[in-house]
């Protein structure tokens, strides 16, 4: 008994509908993934990117580093309570090869900035910092905390003494506290860069560089000459450094495994 032609048409139409539905679901999945990535960037200023045999986590530190007190709604801020658990997840994630820190910060809370810097410095994963617009104030320790550091030629860094807002008690103990905090920052910079601490202190205390403040402003080339930053470079240089560090770490792990087998 012959099969009516309309049955074939219905069968073909059904298959076509199923294919269209599958394509729509795949498109929705891709759109959902893109939406999730965009949401991560908007909320945390960070994203994990992969390509050319490298999977890295890109973290941005912009505006002011927000510490124990909330900043005004009109100010861009990086919240340290978001970055600290993020750094833990990057360190423990075997799928992530390294961390790229993008800096364009005017500074902020000293203790919060140092906390983030100490976390980055203690990581075993390859870490690279890149100063784009500015790495001012507490941004200096953040920049030097990575294993390798870069700065674009047009970027700048401001070195100035620790300051505090609000009520200040006019007593010798207050200035002693400021000095100790300044020493903590200088000690960290000296331990994680090639800069001479005495030279950095001298630039911090200069009185003829900034019209309304004490300190110095240095550009990218000067930061490298001073030893604060490793090299003048951009995004491609930072990614190349991470790839090189990944390969070195893989080679070290391979050699350690061979030695253990012996």
Q: Which residues are within 8 A (CB) of 177 and not within 5 positions of it... i.e. 6 or more apart?
A: none
In degrees, rounded to 5, the angle at the alpha carbon of residue 116 between the alpha carbons of residues 202 and 205 is 10
Among the options 57, 129, 136, 137, which is catalytic? Answer: 137
Q: What residues contact residue 50 under an 8 Å CB cut-off, 6+ apart? A: 56
Which pair of structure tokens corresponds to residue 211? 């019209």
Q: Using CA atoms, how far apart are residues 15 and 151, in angstroms rounded to an integer?
A: 57
- Is 165 among the residues known to form the active site? no
Residue bearing tokens 């999977």 = 55
Residue 57 falls in the annotated catalytic set? no
Which one, of 181, 197, 193, 166, lies nearest residue 110 by Cα?
181
Tell me the longest C-alpha to C-alpha distance in the chain: 107
Q: Which spans in the chain are helix H?
A: 5-44, 80-92, 110-121, 139-144, 172-192, 197-204, 220-226, 235-261
Q: Catalytic one among 160, 192, 193, 216?
A: 160
Residues annotated catalytic, as ranges? 137, 160
């Amino acid at each position: 008994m012959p099969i009516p032609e309309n049955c074939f048409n219905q069968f073909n139409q059904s298959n076509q509908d199923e294919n269209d539905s599958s394509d729509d679901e795949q498109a929705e999945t891709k759109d959902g993934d893109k939406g999730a990535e965009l949401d991560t960037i908007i909320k945390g200023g960070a994203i994990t990117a992969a390509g050319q045999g490298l999977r890295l986590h890109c973290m941005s530190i912009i505006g002011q580093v927000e510490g124990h007190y909330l900043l005004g709604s009109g100010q861009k801020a990086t919240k340290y309570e978001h970055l600290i658990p993020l750094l833990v997840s990057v360190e423990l994630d075997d799928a992530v090869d390294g961390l790229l820190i993008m800096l364009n910060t005017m500074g902020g809370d000293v203790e919060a900035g140092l906390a983030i810097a100490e976390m980055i410095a203690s990581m075993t994963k390859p870490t690279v910092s890149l100063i784009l617009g500015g790495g001012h104030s507490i941004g200096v320790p953040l920049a030097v905390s990575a294993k390798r550091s870069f700065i674009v030629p047009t970027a700048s860094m401001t070195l100035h003494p620790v300051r505090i807002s609000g009520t200040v008690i006019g007593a010798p103990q207050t200035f002693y506290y400021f000095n100790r905090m300044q020493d903590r920052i200088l000690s960290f910079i000296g331990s994680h860069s090639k800069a001479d601490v005495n030279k950095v202190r001298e630039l911090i205390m200069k009185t003829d560089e900034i019209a309304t403040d004490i300190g110095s402003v240095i550009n990218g080339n000067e930061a490298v000459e001073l030893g604060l930053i490793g090299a003048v470079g951009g995004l491609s240089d930072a990614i190349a450094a991470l790839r090189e560090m990944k390969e070195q770490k893989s080679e070290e792990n391979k050699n350690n495994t061979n030695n253990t087998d012996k």
